[in-house]
C-alpha cells in the first residue's frame, strides 16, 4: 500500500480523537524549570514514545543529564527526502497561577479554544505533526522518511540538546528540519518564518548590607540594593530606547530595504496591535516600525524583579538584597556569548558605591536567518495554500528557538519554520490557549507538507 497522490485529507481527520489525545498530554505538568516536576517530565516523554510506537515508528526515550529526549523514526520511503520534525514537550511555569480562569493543567475548551499551559507552546503544535503522520498512515505509507526529535528542555535553554545532536548526528541525518513552535503573522495570514531572534538571559543580584535594616535607623546612610538595582536597569537604555551597553549594536546586520518594504506591506495596525495587548501606547527604539522592532531589532527587557517587602500594607525596611532577571533578544550578526559578556562587564560599572553586584549567565541562543529561495520553503508555501486557500507571508519572528542554529550547524540541513499558532494564544502567559481550528489545520498542514516535500523532490 503506498500513499495516494495529494488529496483532500480534511474529511478524513478524526478531530475528536486528536483533541482527546492532546488533552491527555496537556494534563501532565511538564514544567522543565521546576525541579519538583521531574516525574511529570518522564511521563510526558513516555506518552509520546508510546504513541509514536503505536503508529509504527521505531521510538525510544533517550535519557540525558537533564530531561529525556523522545526520538522516533519511520524510514519506509526509499529515494524520498528525510524530514526531521523537532518539537518540545516541556512547558513554561504556570505562575501567576491565580490569574488562570481554568487550572493550567486541566485543559478546557471555551469559545473554540483549548486552554492549558502548553496548549500552543509547544505540545499542541508538536502533537499536530504526530497526528499529521497518523493521518497519512491511515491512507497508506508516509510519502517521506520521517524522524521526530521531541525534547524536554526548550524552556530552560536546551542545555543538553547540542551534545545530543553531536552524539546522534548520523542517526538524525535529514534533508530538511520542520519546526512549529511559534505564531503565524495573523489569524488569516499563513506564515513561513525565515528568521528568529536570539537570546541572552542573565540574572543580576545586588547586595547592600548583610542584613535587612530599619529604614528609620539607617535610611540615608545605608546602601539600598533596590534603589541601586533600579539605577542599574534605568542606565541600560537611553532616552531614545537604545541600549547603552558598549558595543551592543556593533555587529548587528541592518535590515535590508527589501525587508523593510516587504514588512511595511503586511497588514498591520499599531492601534490594533496596542489594543490587542491592552496597552495605551507602544514605546520602543526610535526610528523603527513596530514589526521592525519585534522582528529585526535587539531588545533589553526585565523579565522579573524582586527585593524587600512585597506583602500587604507597609514595612519600613531597607532590604539586604534585590535581584532581577534581564534578557536581550538578539538579531542576526549578534552573538549571545559576546552580548552576555558585554552585559556582565558593563552592569557592575553602573552600580552606585556600597553595593556588590553579581551577574549570572542563564542561557542564550543564536539568532538565525534562512534562505527565502529554498525549495522546502516553497513546499511549505504550497502546503499552507492547500489548507488556508491563500499564499503564505514571509516574515521573521521575535521569539527565539535557541537550538535552531545548532540544528543548522550540526546537522547541516535547512530549517522550515511553519508556525501553527497565533499571538493571541498567549504563549508564556496565564490562560495560554490554542484554537481548535488551528490545531486541526496544523494536522492537515503537517500532512500536506510531507506530500509537497515528496513532490518537490520528484520535480528536482
Nearer to its own copies, 65 or 313 (CB): 313
Catalytic pick from 122, 134, 153, 154?
Answer: 154
**Residue closer to its own copies, measured from CB, 27 or 268:** 268
How many Å separate Cα 416 from the centre of its chain?
14
Q: How far apart are CA 333 and CA 345, in angstroms?
A: 20
- Binder among 65, 79, 278, 389 for its own copies (CB under 8 A): 278
Binding string, residues 323-342; x marks residues near its own copies by CB under 8 A: -xx-x-x-------------
Residue ranges with strand state E in 13-139: 58-62, 69-74, 82-88, 108-110, 113-115
* Residue 287 neighbours by CB distance under 10 Å: 11
* Sole window of 40-48, 170-178, 247-255, 354-362 interacting with its own copies (rule: CB under 8 A): 354-362
| Nearest approach, Cβ of residue 16 and its own copies (Å) | 30
**Interface with its own copies, residue 187, by CB under 8 A:** no
Q: What SS3 class is residue 174? A: coil
**Residue span binding its own copies (CB under 8 A) among the ranges 68-76, 103-111, 422-430, 441-449:** 422-430
What DSSP assignment string belongs to 250-293?
TTPPPPPHHHHHHHHTS---HHHHHHHTT-S-----TT--HHII
Report 73-112 residues binding its own copies (CB under 8 A): 92-93, 95-96, 99
Q: Is 373 a catalytic residue?
A: no
By CB under 8 A, what part of segment 423-452 binds its own copies? 423, 426-431
Half-sphere exposure for 261 (CA within 13 Å, toward CB): 3
121 is catalytic: no
Catalytic residue of the set 73, 90, 259, 452: 90
CB 216 within 8 A of CB 416: no
Q: At what angle do helices 15-26 and 38-54 cross, to 10 degrees?
A: 160
Q: Is 199 in the site for its own copies (CB under 8 A)?
A: yes
Using the rule CB under 8 A, is 283 a contact of its own copies?
Answer: yes
CA distance 404 to 83: 15
Backbone angles phi, psi at 223, to 5 degrees: -65, 140
Strands 58-62 and 176-179: unpaired
Footprint (CB under 8 A) of its own copies, residues 6-65 = 33-35
**Is residue 213 involved in binding its own copies (CB under 8 A)?**
yes
Q: How far is the CB of 408 from its own copies (least distance, A)?
A: 19
Q: How far is the CB of 112 from its own copies (least distance, A)?
A: 19
CA dist 12 and 447 (Å) reads 12
- Active-site positions read 90, 154
Amino acid at each position: 500500500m503506498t500513499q495516494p497522490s495529494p488529496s483532500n485529507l480534511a474529511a478524513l481527520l478524526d478531530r475528536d480523537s486528536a483533541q482527546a489525545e492532546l488533552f491527555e498530554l496537556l494534563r501532565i505538568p511538564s514544567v522543565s524549570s521546576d525541579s519538583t516536576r521531574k516525574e511529570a517530565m518522564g511521563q510526558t516523554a513516555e506518552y509520546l514514545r508510546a504513541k509514536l510506537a503505536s503508529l509504527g515508528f521505531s521510538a525510544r526515550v533517550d535519557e540525558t543529564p537533564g530531561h529525556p529526549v523522545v526520538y522516533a523514526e519511520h524510514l519506509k520511503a526509499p529515494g524520498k527526502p528525510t524530514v526531521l520534525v523537532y518539537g518540545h514537550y516541556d512547558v513554561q511555569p504556570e505562575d501567576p497561577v491565580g490569574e488562570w480562569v481554568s487550572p493550567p493543567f486541566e485543559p478546557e475548551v471555551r469559545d473554540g479554544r483549548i486552554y492549558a499551559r502548553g496548549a500552543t507552546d509547544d505540545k499542541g503544535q508538536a502533537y499536530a505533526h504526530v497526528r499529521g503522520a497518523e493521518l497519512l498512515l491511515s491512507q497508506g505509507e508516509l510519502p517521506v522518511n520521517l524522524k521526530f526529535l521531541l525534547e524536554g528542555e526548550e524552556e530552560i535553554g536546551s542545555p543538553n540538546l547540542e551534545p545530543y545532536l553531536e552524539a546522534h548526528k548520523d542517526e538524525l541525518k535529514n534533508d530538511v528540519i520542520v519546526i512549529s513552535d511559534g505564531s503565524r503573522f495573523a489569524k488569516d495570514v499563513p506564515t513561513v518564518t525565515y528568521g528568529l531572534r536570539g537570546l541572552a538571559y542573565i540574572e543580576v543580584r545586588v547586595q547592600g548590607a548583610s542584613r535587612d535594616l530599619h529604614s528609620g535607623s539607617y535610611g540615608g546612610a545605608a546602601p539600598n540594593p533596590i534603589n541601586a538595582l533600579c539605577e542599574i536597569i534605568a542606565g541600560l537604555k537611553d532616552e531614545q530606547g537604545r541600549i547603552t551597553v558598549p558595543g551592543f549594536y556593533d555587529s548587528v546586520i541592518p535590515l535590508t530595504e527589501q525587508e523593510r518594504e516587504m514588512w511595511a506591506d503586511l497588514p498591520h495596525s499599531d492601534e490594533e496591535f496596542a489594543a490587542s495587548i491592552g496597552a495605551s501606547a507602544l514605546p520602543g527604539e526610535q526610528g523603527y516600525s513596530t514589526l521592525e522592532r519585534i522582528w529585526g531589532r535587539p531588545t533589553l527587557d526585565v523579565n522579573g524583579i524582586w527585593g524587600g517587602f512585597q506583602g500587604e500594607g507597609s514595612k519600613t525596611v531597607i532590604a539586604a538584597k534585590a535581584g532581577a532577571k534581564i534578557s536581550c533578544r538578539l538579531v542576526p550578526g549578534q552573538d549571545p556569548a559576546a552580548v552576555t559578556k558585554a552585559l556582565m562587564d558593563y552592569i557592575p560599572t553602573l552600580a552606585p558605591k556600597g553595593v556588590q553586584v553579581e551577574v549570572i549567565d542563564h542561557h542564550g541562543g543564536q539568532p538565525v536567518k534562512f534562505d527565502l529561495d529554498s525549495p522546502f520553503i516553497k513546499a511549505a508555501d504550497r502546503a499552507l495554500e492547500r489548507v488556508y486557500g491563500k499564499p503564505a507571508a514571509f516574515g521573521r519572528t521575535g521569539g527565539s528557538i535557541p537550538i535552531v542554529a545548532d540544528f543548522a550547524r550540526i546537522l547541516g540541513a535547512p530549517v522550515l519554520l511553519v508556525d501553527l499558532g497565533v499571538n493571541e494564544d498567549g504563549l508564556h502567559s496565564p490562560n495560554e490557549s490554542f484554537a481548535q481550528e488551528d490545531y486541526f489545520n496544523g494536522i492537515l498542514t503537517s500532512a500536506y507538507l510531507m506530500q509537497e516535500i515528496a513532490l518537490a523532490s520528484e520535480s528536482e
